[in-house]
Structure 1
Amino acid sequence: MTQTKLEIIGLYTPEHEGPHIWLYGHAFPCVVHSVAGGMAFITAEATGNTFCTAVENIRNAREVPAAREFWVNEYNDGFGPLKLSEQSAKDSGSDGLLRTIHVREVLPGEDA
């Protein structure tokens, strides 16, 4: 199953049913409950906190496929467990390590 991520597609508009992103240093998924004037009443999905923010900080988004990536160590006698970062794979290396392999999922429509 392919993972997804949110991609910003433009400024907030009330016609867009969601998803939405709140820009506050980083981009956070949010739910827009209501808008009055230049303020939006939202819930930040990561924390569940509800508050008001300027509408200019909200963006329309859409879900797009995101390739999965992982790293695996190859040994003389086989392969080790999958790791989510290159550093984690290298840190778990042991005797007989031949190399650390980076694996990235190829999404439909991408060249292999």
Structure 2
Amino acid sequence: METAKKALTDEAIAIRQKLIEAAAKGNKLFYSDLAIAGDDRHMNKLSIVLSKISRYEWKNGRPLLSSIVVNKEDDKSKALPGAGFFILCADLRTNDTLDELQSACFSFWKDEKNKGKYKLI
């Protein structure tokens, strides 16, 4: 199994930790909650980092952490990820719905055994 230190940058590892903490609490995050210094207004750098994190998780049999990152809406429960997330899902050939992907992510990271085993890899 490839470790996060080999697969991800320090910046990506820090964002991954924030995603895990939110998922363990059953919370979604806005893209703006994860803003990267020097990123453009379209958050292209963040999109690339989130894709790398999710590809790393997917490769290691874990849910897509980026499923819980959504566009800003007044009602966070109705907010959706950006188009890049759905392109990633098509590339990974997952047929799960967004609700299924988010539920899997929340369930996986709420489990203390999973959190303890995989959070700091």
The TM tier, using the shorter chain, reads: under 0.3
Structure (1/2) with the larger helix percentage: 2
Structure (1/2) with the larger strand percentage: 1
TM-score, with structure 2 as normaliser: 0.25
TM-score, with structure 1 as normaliser: 0.26
